[in-house]
């Protein structure tokens, strides 16, 4: 008898939830709320209209920070990757900023943008900019010379060369970089919202604890963050499945 | 253009391509390494030339210099009395492997160099070359769904579609299995006879050279010079067990410095 693919993980998660509930029932106290009360917390948030509001607020910040970073970092990275001299000039700077956690920028973000959406968007932008820049640079380096030579052979204008050879050749690697970076953005938004705003899923977690130790809501927030992160990842992966985008994985 | 039968290789008509004292020196870690030395070669219009030589001798370097991908250190290449300064759609280089664009379908690849043509003409040419290289039914397939031989036929079709004067082929069948290779030779000859382009074909396969070429240019080991130019005076289709074929083949083996017996 064949089980559907989703059945095995679903059963496994159900078993874990059951163990969790039983363990919490055996040791009532402050360690952790059980899954039932977490589910109750989610329902609570839904009834107050907060869940949708906070999810939209967080996604709004991620979208802006991520898109701004992509729009700036990808063309700059492609150009730096193509013109080796530019890369030689900029690379040391990039390498110094890259290992600085986006969270280290929080004071600067507050100084420049005050407490609010802009500061959070800026932090996401910083967190996404450097990974995307490096992805774009290495994507250009990895274009097989054959494609570049073939492109040159057919007498394309520079703009046609970019749109018909360079861009399609780097797309598979860019998509992988964008997917990983979107995950980073989602990590950063939660941290940013704990400090500098009064809405969003990060705010929910801090607020639930501050406003009366509602740990069921803290865990509800964590579960929702995880589920949305997973959905974002699935969305990006489905982009990678488009055939003219995923040629690299098909080439043996 | 009409092809007059009196044009025999070696006549004094103006050459299609002329290499004069062509030399290429590579710079490796500050050391200069001569790869090609004093190459003089005249190729007439419509000729099929094979370049053979020991592995790593600089056959591909010579092809790249003639195709304009590499500027020579000394000497020059002229095509129709015009000095070659860079790649040009009038002469297309076909690569050994991975030459087709994996993000385009068969039609997209063949039409790659045709974007300036009106739509109807572009479609007519794509259809013609799909047929020429026998890829009917695969028009909308991506290269990842094609076999190695089909990909090379696709690359040849993409090259022919822009109507080039010269095709440069850099060991185009080198990565294929031996049966496919023999079939591809027949296909290439059929296309060459139908379309009459000038072809420069790099190979390390002696049989391939004797089966295909009007003339075989034998290069020495690095730095490569022209050691010998052998005219293959057998009409197509060539009988590969005829005495003349075997004689020319032996001559080539000797020129490259290979033993007759293993």
Q: Model ipTM?
A: 0.83
For residue A24, give the nearest of A13, A34, A10, A35 by alpha carbon.
A34
Same domain, B113 and B233: no
Nearest CA in chain A to B64: A149
Same domain, B83 and B171: yes
Contact A196, B130 (CB under 8 A): no
Q: What is the DSSP letter of B50?
A: E
Same domain, B58 and B143: no
Per-residue pLDDT, B4: 43
Look-up of token digits 């749109």: A163
Same domain, B170 and B140: no
Same domain, B236 and B134: no
Per-residue pLDDT, A244: 62
For residue A248, give the nearest of B101, B119, B27 by alpha carbon.
B101
Q: Do A150 and B162 touch (CB under 8 A)?
A: no
In this predicted structure, the answer to whether residue B3 has a pLDDT above a threshold of 60 is no
CATH classification at residue B231? 3.40.50.300
Same domain, B212 and B225: yes
| Length of chain A in terms of residues written | 252
Which tokens go with A8?
């095995």
Per-residue pLDDT, A179: 92
Per-residue pLDDT, A252: 43
φ, ψ for residue A94 (rounded to 5)? -60, -45
Residues 6+ apart with CB under 8 A from B181: B173, B205, B208
Per-residue pLDDT, A246: 66
Per-residue pLDDT, A238: 86
Q: Which helix (H) or strand (E) holds B181?
A: helix B178-195
Helix spans in chain A (H): 7-26, 35-47, 50-82, 84-97, 106-113, 117-141, 145-153, 158-161, 167-196, 201-210, 215-240, 247-250
In this predicted structure, the answer to whether residue B13 has a pLDDT above a threshold of 70 is no
Is B67 near chain A, with CB under 8 Å?
Answer: yes
B34, β-bridge pairs: B25
Instruction: Assess if residue B7 is contained within a domain.
Output: no
Going by pLDDT thresholds of 50, 70 and 90, the confidence category of residue B261 is low
Q: What is the residue-level pLDDT of chain A in tens, covering all 252 positions? A: 677 888 888 999 999 999 988 888 888 776 788 888 889 889 988 888 888 999 999 999 999 999 999 999 999 999 999 998 888 888 888 889 888 888 899 889 989 998 888 999 999 999 999 999 999 999 999 999 999 999 999 988 889 999 999 999 999 899 999 999 999 999 998 888 887 678 889 999 888 888 877 888 888 899 999 999 999 999 888 887 776 666 665 554
Same domain, B235 and B189: yes
Torsion of CA B43, B45, B46, B52, to 10 degrees: 10
Instruction: Assess if residue B25 is contained within a domain.
Output: yes
B26, β-bridge pairs: B33
Instruction: Assess if residue B2 is contained within a domain.
Output: no
A158–chain B nearest CA distance, Å: 14
Instruction: Assess if residue B8 is contained within a domain.
Output: no
Residue A67, judged by CB atoms within 10 A of its CB (0-12, 13-18, 19+), counts as middle
Tens of pLDDT, residues B141-189: 999 999 988 999 999 999 989 989 999 999 998 888 888 888 889 888 9
Which tokens go with B234?
């057998």
Same domain, B85 and B178: yes
Q: Do A251 and B88 touch (CB under 8 A)?
A: no
Is A238 near chain B, with CB under 8 Å?
Answer: no
Instruction: Assess if residue B9 is contained within a domain.
Output: no
Instruction: Assess if residue B205 is contained within a domain.
Output: yes
Nearest CA in chain B to A171: B103
Chain A, chain B: beta-carbon pairs less than 8 Å apart: 60
Same domain, B49 and B136: no
In this predicted structure, the answer to whether residue B9 has a pLDDT above a threshold of 80 is no
Record the pTM.
0.79
For residue B159, give the nearest of B180, B137, B181, B188 by alpha carbon.
B188
How high is the mean pLDDT of chain B? 87
B143–chain A nearest CA distance, Å: 9
Q: Regarding the domain delimited by A37-250, which CATH topology (the fold level of the hierarchy) does it fall under?
A: MetI-like fold (1.10.3720)
Instruction: Assess if residue B184 is contained within a domain.
Output: yes
Nearest to A155 among B89, B97, B104 (CB): B89
Same domain, B175 and B84: yes
Number of domains in chain B: 2
Neighbours of A22 (CB within 10 A): 11
Per-residue pLDDT, B124: 94
Same domain, B211 and B239: yes
Strands B198-202 and B166-170: parallel
Query: Which letter, b or e, does each residue of A217-246 get, where b requires 16 or more Cβ atoms within 10 Å of its Cβ?
Result: bbbbbeebbeebbeebeeebeeebeeeebb
Per-residue pLDDT, B8: 47
Provide the percentage of residues in chain A whose pLDDT is more than 70.
Answer: 94
3-state SS class at B82 = strand
Per-residue pLDDT, A128: 94
Q: Do B101 and A152 touch (CB under 8 A)?
A: no
Tens of pLDDT, residues B208-255: 999 999 999 999 888 888 988 999 988 888 888 899 989 999 888 888
Per-residue pLDDT, B1: 43
Same domain, B86 and B113: no
- Domain range for B151 is 102-163
Instruction: Assess if residue B144 is contained within a domain.
Output: yes
In this predicted structure, the answer to whether residue B198 has a pLDDT above a threshold of 80 is yes
Among B111, B142, B163, where does a domain finish?
B163
Q: What is the DSSP letter of A98?
A: T
Contact B249, B60 (CB under 8 A): no
């Amino acid at each position: 008898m064949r089980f559907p693919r989703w059945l095995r993980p679903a059963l496994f998660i159900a078993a874990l939830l059951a163990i969790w509930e039983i363990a919490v029932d055996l040791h009532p106290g402050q360690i952790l709320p059980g899954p039932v009360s977490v589910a109750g917390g989610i329902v609570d948030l839904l009834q107050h209209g907060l869940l949708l509001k906070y999810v939209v607020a967080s996604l709004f910040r991620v979208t802006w920070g991520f898109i701004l970073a992509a729009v700036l970092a990808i063309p700059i990275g492609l150009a730096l990757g193509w013109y080796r001299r530019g890369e030689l000039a900029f690379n040391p700077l990039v390498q110094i900023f890259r290992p600085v956690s986006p969270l280290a920028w929080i004071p600067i973000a507050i100084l420049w943008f005050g407490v609010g959406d802009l500061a959070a968007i800026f932090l996401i932008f910083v967190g996404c900019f450097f990974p995307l820049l490096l992805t774009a640079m290495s994507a250009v380096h990895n274009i097989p010379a054959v494609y570049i030579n073939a492109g040159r052979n057919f007498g394309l204008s520079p703009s046609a060369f970019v749109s018909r050879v360079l861009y399609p050749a780097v797309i598979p690697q860019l998509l992988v970089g964008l997917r990983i970076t979107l995950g980073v953005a989602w990590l950063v938004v939660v941290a940013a919202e704990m400090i500098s705003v009064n809405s969003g899923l990060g705010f929910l977690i801090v607020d639930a604890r501050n406003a009366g130790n509602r740990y069921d809501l803290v865990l509800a927030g964590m579960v929702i963050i995880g589920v949305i992160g997973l959905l974002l990842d699935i969305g990006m992966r489905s982009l990678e499945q488009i055939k003219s985008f995923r040629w690299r994985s098909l080439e043996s | 253009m009409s092809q007059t039968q009196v044009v025999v290789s070696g006549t004094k008509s103006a050459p299609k391509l002329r290499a004069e004292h062509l030399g290429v020196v590579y710079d490796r870690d500050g050391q200069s390494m001569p790869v090609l030395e004093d190459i003089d070669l005249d190729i007439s219009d419509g000729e099929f030339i094979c370049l053979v030589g020991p592995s790593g001798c600089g056959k591909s370097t010579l092809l790249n210099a003639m195709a304009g991908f590499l500027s020579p250190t000394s000497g020059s290449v002229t095509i129709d009395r015009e000095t070659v300064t860079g790649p040009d759609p009038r002469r297309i280089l076909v690569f050994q492997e991975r030459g087709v664009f994996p993000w385009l379908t068969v039609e997209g690849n063949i039409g790659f160099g045709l974007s300036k043509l009106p739509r109807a003409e572009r479609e007519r040419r794509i259809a013609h070359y799909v047929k020429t290289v026998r890829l009917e039914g695969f028009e909308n397939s991506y290269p990842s769904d094609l076999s190695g031989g089909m990909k090379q036929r696709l690359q040849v079709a993409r090259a022919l579609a822009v109507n080039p004067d010269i095709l440069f082929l850099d060991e185009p069948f080198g990565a294929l299995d031996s049966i496919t290779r023999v079939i591809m030779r027949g296909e290439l000859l059929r296309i060459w006879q139908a379309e009459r382009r000038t072809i420069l074909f790099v190979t390390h396969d002696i049989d391939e050279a004797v089966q295909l070429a009007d003339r075989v240019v034998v290069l020495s080991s690095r730095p490569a010079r022209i050691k010998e130019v052998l005219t293959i005076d057998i009409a197509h289709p060539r009988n590969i067990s005829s005495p003349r074929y075997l004689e020319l083949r032996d001559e080539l083996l000797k020129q490259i410095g290979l033993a007759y017996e293993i």
